[in-house]
Amino acid sequence: MQTWLYIEVALMFGSGILGLGHHYFWIGTPDYWLTIGGFFSALEPIPLVAMVVHAVYDTGSHGFKNGNHPALAWVIAHAFGNFFGAGVWGFMHTLPQINLYTHGTQWSASHGHLAFFGAYATINIAFFYLAIQHWRGNVWMSGGMTHQWRWQWAIGLLNVGVIGMTVALLIAGYEQSFIERAVEGSSWSGYFAAQNHPDFQSAMVWRWLFGVVTLAGLVLLIWDLLTIGKGESRKALAITEDVASS
């Protein structure tokens, strides 16, 4: 389905370049950026939806065998992370009428974290696992029965941690948009009313706790990347051929 790929890429550039206009709403640029940025960035999720549809339709159609479980798991995390972090979390505050209230609140930080982690960190980590597999001599990359818990816990803790941070920041951003902007009209006292509100303060505590979970996942990930595949003798290719011929 190569045609689809071209359509997706065309949509990506078509919406993405002018869609960046959502960063030009309130920085002293001419008013036409409200229309351009709002319109084109609202189209940005379309190629992201198309990619998810494409991925779901392609699943199983190749019947591939996979000798690198952590890499595949991180690619799957990427498919979801990109779609939700950029597509859904971005779309939520991209219309200027909404962004007027959310701009510069923790809402941006909520989207920023899920988008960067979901779209970029995940795919990089998948490539790290592929590179290490190659480096160790194309061995079977599962960590073996004794060590596979490391990459499994690393991906689990990192995803739970970042999603937890995202939700906590979203609650904080919602509260700021509501109290500081909508109710108090962006006033000086409104800023402090929002900062001192119990919902905001507890969201900051939750953000901190999930940050610790994220950090724990990162430490485990680094440990796993340094050790996985060492001393492994089963070749991924040989296993693939075994499975294919059986």
Binding site for ligand HEM (CB under 6 A): 22-23, 41, 44-45, 86-87, 90-91, 93-94, 99, 103, 108-109, 111-113, 115-117, 119, 121, 162, 211, 214-215
- What is the residue-wise DSSP string for 200-238? HHHHHHHHHHHHHHHHHHHHHHHHHHHHTTTT---BHHH
Q: Which helix (H) or strand (E) holds 1?
A: none
Task: Tell me which residue of 20, 84, 74 sits closest to 52, measured CA to CA.
Answer: 84
Cβ 196 to ligand HEM shortest distance, Å = 17
In the complex, least distance from residue 245 CB atom to ligand HEM, rounded to whole angstroms = 41
Cβ distance to ligand HEM smaller for residue 173 or 229: 173
Instruction: Indicate the residue type of 45.
Output: P
- Tell me how far apart the alpha carbons of residues 206 and 66 are, in angstroms, rounded to a whole number: 37
Of the pair 150, 207, the CB lying nearest ligand HEM is at 207
* Pick 12 or 239: Cβ nearer ligand HEM: 12
Residue 65 structure tokens:
């065998």
Lookup: tokens for 238? 């040989």
Residue nearest to ligand HEM according to CB distances in the complex: 90
Q: Minimum CB separation from ligand HEM for residue 148, in Å?
A: 23
Closest contact distance (angstroms) between CB of 151 and ligand HEM is 17
Amino acid at 50: A
Give 23 or 136: the residue with its C-beta nearer to ligand HEM: 23
Q: How far is the CB of 195 from ligand HEM (least distance, A)?
A: 12
Paired with 235 in beta bridges are 139
Rounded Cα–Cα distance for residues 173 and 101 (Å): 10
Output 119 or 236, the one with its CB closest to ligand HEM. Answer: 119
